[in-house]
Amino acid sequence: MIIVLIAAYLMKRSLEKKHLRKLGVDAENYMYYEKYTSFGNKFSYILTYLLQDFVYEVKKRNKSYNFSKGMFRFDDSLGEYYIDCRIGWYAYFRINILKNRLSLHKLRIFSLTKCNDMLLTVFPEQAELYKKVKEEVQSKIDEFPTGKKLGYIHVNEAEDAMNLYPYLRLNLLEMEISRKFMKDNMDVYHGYLKKQEKRKDDVREIKNLHIELNKKNENKKK
């Protein structure tokens, strides 16, 4: 089954290259940008990012909290360390996955803009029409539905959209789906960050609590 899927993918890629060459497009360059956010590339981006970020977070905490390690000594900073860990890891995957999804959608807009620029050099007569359809679709971005199937309908309903070269129209669709996702989720992401920043006050509060408790203990000793 896997061999069949790989063979089908390679055949599709080969046919696409031939078609692009017939059009006069630099097929290698076009497909380089088109595959920026392919499944394999997405997986490698996110995996390497999460691994590096995880290592960074662990190193940062070990450096920030150089508390004494040992059974017979109480260290006030241990409580601060626990709270900082709780804050850091509480929504770690939720925030990072959303951050990566936003970045990938931004990358998708960039890569498909490059692809459409290449197509427009081959079809300069489509430039004005492309600009018109793009502006119309972007002006209605709040009405733009989530989901690819509904997105197709929305882009195709734009005036003269069906007169666009199919590759241009398909790329425009993908770009606007990504733009809509970013518009809908950027505020959500910043909301997560604000909550996490606010929770950092907990570290300061527990520091003050340690100071208060230590003063009481000193007074008792006297």
Report whether 173 contacts 146 (CB < 8 A).
no
Task: Write the single-letter amino acid at 86.
Answer: R
Do the domain assignments include residue 136?
yes
Query: For residues 120 and 126, is the Cβ–Cβ distance under 8 A?
Result: yes
Cβ(79)–Cβ(8) under 8 Å?
A: no
Confidence (pLDDT) at 126: 93
Please report, for the chain, how many H helices and E strands are present, in that order: 9, 0
Tell me how far apart the terminal alpha carbons of the chain are, to the nearest angstrom: 79
Count CB neighbours of 130 within 10 A: 22
SS3 track for 36-55: HHCHHHHHHHHHHHHHHHHH
Instruction: For residue 73, tell me if it sits in a domain.
Output: no
C-beta of residue 155 within 8 angstroms of C-beta of residue 211: no
Question: Which sign, positive or negative, has the C-alpha torsion 52, 54, 57, 60?
Answer: negative
Quote the pTM value: 0.77
The pLDDT score that the predictor gives to residue 128 is: 93
Question: Which ranges in 2-38 belong to alpha helices (H)?
Answer: 2-23, 27-34
Q: Is 194 helix (H, G, I), strand (E, B) or coil?
A: helix
Which residue is associated with the tokens 């509060």? 205
pLDDT for the residue numbered 46: 86
- Does some domain include residue 70? no
How much of the chain is helix, strand and coil, in % rounded to 5? 85, 0, 15
In a domain, 31, yes or no: yes
The whole-number pLDDT of residue 202 equals 80
How many residues are recorded in the chain? 222
Total number of domains in the chain? 1
Is 71 among the domain residues?
A: no
**The predicted structure's pLDDT at residue 195:** 85
Residue 36's Cβ-side half-sphere holds a number of Cα atoms within 13 Å equal to: 17
88 in a structural domain: yes
User: Which segments of the chain have a pLDDT < 50?
Assistant: 71-72
CA distance 141 to 135: 10
What phi and psi values does residue 68 have, to the nearest 5 degrees? -70, 140
pLDDT of residue 190: 92
What are the tokens at 192?
């997560």
Residue range of the domain that includes 100: 2-64+78-221
194 lies in some domain? yes
Is the residue at 85 inside a domain?
yes
> For position 127, what pLDDT does the model report?
92
